[in-house]
Structure 1
């Protein structure tokens, strides 16, 4: 009989202790995924996978090592433990590595309140194919669409269990249902493409295939006849689809791994203003139906909401146990890990304070500038925050969109950009990063 993830983590720990580990933790991921792609109304590709991954981290004094496998046989688990012990004995001492103390561990958490998994049965391949075909057909109803590059639908379910020799043992089930469509407008060298898609924990929350296909088509058509913008200093409005990338740069800069190495443009900014005074950035790992919600982190610590930025002022780094110890601080319960790696810090669900103006209001008020809807490439200096990215979108003249823009570069410094940004009120609340469209004044544009 196949063992459960909980039983496998217990077996991994027992085997590691028997092999000579002073302490250990183990993670088991078991899941299934199904994806369907349609092209020209016919099935293009179908994939289904089922698998299980085992991860074991052992400690021998202040030395540690991590091994992984995808085989649950007893002899494989014994070999994992033996190899991990041998590797750990050759590793250098790490004064900051180690498990949580028993009093730090999560207890009495309510997994059901997070609504991480949909109890609805797994969709059939036929139903996924139908969704993808409907999205494609909807996009092709737009006469300016020359073809649909891809229309795909997918589903995944995963069981996660984590246990450690300090007494922690816990797990949860997570599901995801997705649908996307990429449409191409125009012909020859005048082709332009764009996309739309949706990804949800609960299948009933997913937007309709028709809406996704129509939106993908409309976005592709809007990009036809694109030109380069003028070179100069202009306001730039980051569309809600890509605005979370700006907050992502902030999150990377306050990650404990970056701060502990001194490789962050915010390394000395604790207690300083990094956003406008009226804006806050809040993390909530307990938001129901959100993709990054979790009751405990990858070291067994209880997760909880925290203010990362409060009224513009930076209040918290993002830490796991090791980076917290390096910085003489406590963990913020943000450890994440895969089966083949040791824990590292990462944020979960975050939300930026929304503004009162709509995106259309910001377009009207910005006068002349660039509305960015897609970006490519990235040159970000992690030490200085200097920012440069390729961009495409729409030119705004006298508060109105006048045409599509491509092949340009936008540049600035993240410290200045974030401190002066203006938010709209259009953030989608089901996403892990709830960030509205963001207006950044006075960026440098390189075009014609």
Structure 2
């Protein structure tokens, strides 16, 4: 993947493309290039299963003529291909519907510098090493008593580069950065003597190789997760405390982010659309979006419109502080972009979070559940029963029954339901926050949810 010289070359290519678009009549234009290279290997039931390598380079061009815009994309980096791309984009923009909210970000908001976030360790994508890591993960899982079958171990490594260039009547901006990725995973099936089977998994991913969990530990944890679920049963219905494991608790934070996304707020389709400055969570709760987190899985030194990014408390002491906005949604709401524009090659910018997380609380998980006489600890959620207009929430679930503050036995084929407005106000976080995903949360407890056997 590109070093500094090739990154500069990519910006030169984008500058040439923008000049072509401007020469054809575009008032303003921006272009993004995404180049990626990755290798992935899998190992299943004692032998290699797949080895895949992918390489791609995509360019997206957005042109604006007055209040009309068009976006086109290509994989052809030849001069003739760029001529065609620019001609097509300008022609499309001339006949596109008027969009009074399209346009470039205010140049005063552009990043003055592109911070270094230590996202790239120039990964070794050696296929043999990846196969060995996948094999190690599966072998560690199969060595655990109770595991009967494997859906495979996997390992991958990759690198991507993003280059962005912007040209307007009074605007000029360009930036590029690269990021690496590493992962290891394993999925297995456990079975008891009565033929009851359960599947579960584990994985680890990181920007730097040294931060990825060991394949043997990932495989072993996948096996333990599956074994402890064997013998699950359905339980009755009632209003009970529900405790969400971190790997599903992050979904609640994701639902919150969706509800404060500028697109939903501007359309009036969010249950939080009129709640700015109000208490959404309990006092003391904080939800943070931090695009500048070193080695973060969703870190970015600038947003997709060249705007400077910053750490933000979206919820501070339980109170909603900000929407998630790009330039277009900010204009619709009469506000200023928050630097949350994301950008692919196939469409215009749109708002979205970066490294989003719910801050840890002060209680251990054991303390969080100690006073629960009967409750449900959720480790898996199924389906997508969320109504963002009303906040109604209903998901299929599996996990463990809690009795007298302890895990009693595994359960499955359950449903948990409530309304996100009430759930957020009742949410209490534990102290076990770990950064494993793009969106992260510690274990959380929500009292008074409806629990039912499916």
Structure 2 length-normalised TM? 0.96
- Paired position in structure 2 for 1:118: 121
1:45 equivalent among 17, 42, 50: 50
RMSD over aligned CA atoms reads 1.5
Q: Does the 8 Å contact 1:253/1:259 carry over to 2? A: yes
Q: How many residues align?
A: 445
- Paired position in structure 2 for 1:168: 173
CA shift for structure 1 position 14: 1.1
CA shift for structure 1 position 90: 1.4
CA shift for structure 1 position 350: 2.1
CA distance in 2, matches of 1:329, 1:181: 45
- Paired position in structure 2 for 1:133: 135
- Paired position in structure 1 for 2:354: 348
CA distance in 2, matches of 1:339, 1:5: 14
1:275-424 pair list within 5 angstroms: 275-424=281-430
205-214 or 1-10, which moves further after superposition?
1-10
CA distance in 2, matches of 1:249, 1:79: 41
- Paired position in structure 2 for 1:142: 144
32-41 or 328-337, which moves further after superposition?
32-41
CA offsets, 1:42-100, max 9 Å, x none?
11000001110000000011000000011111111111111111111111111111012
- Paired position in structure 1 for 2:67: 62
Structure 2 residue ranges without an equivalent (≥5): none
Structure 1 residue ranges without an equivalent (≥5): none
CA distance in 1, matches of 2:114, 2:144: 49
Q: Does the 8 Å contact 1:25/1:57 carry over to 2? A: yes
**Could you say what secondary structure the match of 1:216 adopts?**
helix
CA shift for structure 1 position 108: 2.3
Q: Does the 8 Å contact 1:256/1:345 carry over to 2? A: yes
CA distance in 2, matches of 1:109, 1:336: 16
CA distance in 1, matches of 2:180, 2:442: 26
- Paired position in structure 2 for 1:197: 203
CA offsets, 1:366-395, max 9 Å, x none?
221100000110111111100000000000
Q: Does the 8 Å contact 2:38/2:125 carry over to 1? A: no
CA shift for structure 1 position 337: 1.2
Q: Does the 8 Å contact 2:14/2:31 carry over to 1? A: yes
Structure 1 length-normalised TM? 0.97
CA distance in 1, matches of 2:451, 2:106: 52
Whether 1:232 and 2:238 are equivalent positions in the alignment is yes
